Structure 1
Amino acid sequence: MSEIAWGIASDKIAIVMAVLLITMTMLSAGPLHPIDNLINNAPRPYWDEIRTFLILWPDTVASRFVAIPVLAVTVLQLAYWHRSWRPIILGGVGVVGMMGLVASMKLLLARNHPRTGDPAFFGDAGGVSFPSGHGANAILIYGLVLFLIIRYNAARPHIVRRLAYCIVGIAILQSLVSTYLHFHWFTDLVTGMIAGGLSLRIVMRLDALIPSGRTTMWWPWYGGSFWSSDPPASDSDGDDGTARAKVA
């Protein structure tokens, strides 16, 4: 466990993402207030005509009610194909870790809601605007779907590229819709995406540190035991991502 913790803590990309998250939080506390106010007070054309549509449709694309089912289908399918708990473990750890990080920051910093017109932290209104959970979802959950697809070679390269473009599109769409609807300050969304990116990097690093075969041997169809450290005799592939023959 200590080796895994050290491996995550010493990851250079994770360190950069963590520093970026702290820096963005500090900037959002004051220096970037003019930008937040400028975007928050900008005119909202066609407000009455499209507001309801935006709330019911585009704004839900990065919600957990939509993103988590997409991730669940992906991890369950990959777990079945490869007879491994690893996709399920990575998906669960990523979502729970990201939600814990975002919720902790929301409760600790208590930023005012955009409708108050005051982007200050520790507001009297008891807001939980910062950082954006939808922004974190767009990067972590959909990014995790893409990572698992790449890791297990579940799609051809041109499909992977298109999925990556879709994730970028979802992140941009979520930012535009949330700021238009006064659901979040601009810096809420940027910081949320950074938090999601940090969580995603930690999951990727965790996957690299978990020993090969450690999660496959728990798979009940291979005769392994959850409590035993001995892999099943019939398992020779481990968790290296090599595709197995699909069961009809």
Structure 2
Amino acid sequence: MSRRRPGDPRGAWPSVSEIAWGLASDKAAIMLAVALIIMTVLSAGPLHPIDNLINNAPRPFWHELRMPLILGPDTVASRFVALPVLGVTCLQLAYWHRSWRPIILGAVGPFSMVCLVASMKLLFMRSHPRTGDPSFFDDSGVSFPSGHGANAILIYGLVLFLIIRYRAARPNIVRRLGYCIVGIAVLQAMVSVYLHFHWFTDLMTGMVAGGLALVLTIRLDRLIPEGRTVYWWPWYGRSRWNGEGRSAAGGSGEDTGASAGSG
């Protein structure tokens, strides 16, 4: 049952079972979970010929391009680049709207993605492409699925979602950002395959896993009442927990905080 104190303007707080059911019943999440299972099964054997074909294809300009690609495009979807972009976006939106929600979403999304990808890596233990053997359950590597592929979809997708949610950019800018995310995902896949960092199916499955984590994060945002995180903001004369003014003497400060917090 949902719980709400009498007179609480922030809406009902869903129970754990309600949140779990809300996440499990999301149609997009179900479709992506099924796609993740299918990709895992196909990667375990039926798609090995495609993996081997792409892995054994010629690499023109290998010596000239290898280091520039490692130091440049290959880092675009790494956590060392993507997480700071997400962090700056979350902090800026949190400050503008006087809400912890962007920061919470920015932490929950990557954490859930890392848990999903890391558990699959340890479970399937796929060998590295340089071994020439795309089989699972090999002690020589943890290639499957690709964390960079998941980062490209989850982290940059979450940045785009937050920008859309808080209307931080015009629609034409949002469309261009969406194209940029697609470009980052394609570029990351091409570079990782070229450098023998991942099998082709590693990258495709990683992107599906990142999409699943992104959809679940968006669904969680819709399940939690907005006021629960808006009223936690401790600045501009608000009480940390209930949104009431800290003192009658802070009149103008409270008004400023209340108008900012309403967003």
Q: What TM-score results when the alignment is normalised by the length of structure 2? A: 0.87
1:130-149 → structure 2 map (5 Å cutoff): 130-149=144-163
Q: Could you say which residue in structure 1 is the equivalent of 2:70?
A: 55
Q: Could you say which residue in structure 2 is the equivalent of 1:198?
A: 212
Q: Could you say which residue in structure 2 is the equivalent of 1:129?
A: 143
1:1-248 → structure 2 map (5 Å cutoff): 1-125=16-140, 127-221=141-235, 222-225=237-240, 228=241, 230-232=242-244, 242=263
The residue type paired with residue 194 of structure 1 is V
Distance between the aligned counterparts of 1:212 and 1:239, measured in 2? 11
Distance between the aligned counterparts of 2:212 and 2:196, measured in 1? 26
Structure 2, gaps ≥5 residues long: 1-15, 246-253
Tell me: CA distance 1:239–1:86, structure 2 relative to 1, closer, same or farther (3 Å).
farther
Distance between the aligned counterparts of 1:9 and 1:231, measured in 2? 32
Structure 1 or 2, whichever has the larger Rg, is 2
Query: Does the CA contact (< 8 Å) of 1:213 and 1:239 recur in 2?
Result: no
Report the number of matched residues: 237
Report the alpha carbon displacement of residue 24 of structure 1 after superposing the two structures with TM: 0.3
Report the alpha carbon displacement of residue 232 of structure 1 after superposing the two structures with TM: 3.2
Report the alpha carbon displacement of residue 2 of structure 1 after superposing the two structures with TM: 1.5
The residue type paired with residue 98 of structure 2 is R
Percent of pairs with identical residues:
73
Q: Could you say which residue in structure 2 is the equivalent of 1:246?
A: none
Query: Does the CA contact (< 8 Å) of 1:213 and 1:231 recur in 2?
Result: no
Structure 1, gaps ≥5 residues long: 243-248
Distance between the aligned counterparts of 1:48 and 1:152, measured in 2? 45
After TM superposition, which residue ranges in structure 1, 4 or more long, deviate above 2 angstroms? Answer: 222-225, 230-240
Report the alpha carbon displacement of residue 5 of structure 1 after superposing the two structures with TM: 1.1
Report the alpha carbon displacement of residue 237 of structure 1 after superposing the two structures with TM: 7.2
Tell me: CA distance 1:148–1:122, structure 2 relative to 1, closer, same or farther (3 Å).
same
Distance between the aligned counterparts of 2:107 and 2:227, measured in 1? 19
Distance between the aligned counterparts of 2:214 and 2:130, measured in 1? 31
CA root-mean-square deviation: 1.5
Q: What TM-score results when the alignment is normalised by the length of structure 1? A: 0.92
Distance between the aligned counterparts of 1:54 and 1:89, measured in 2? 33
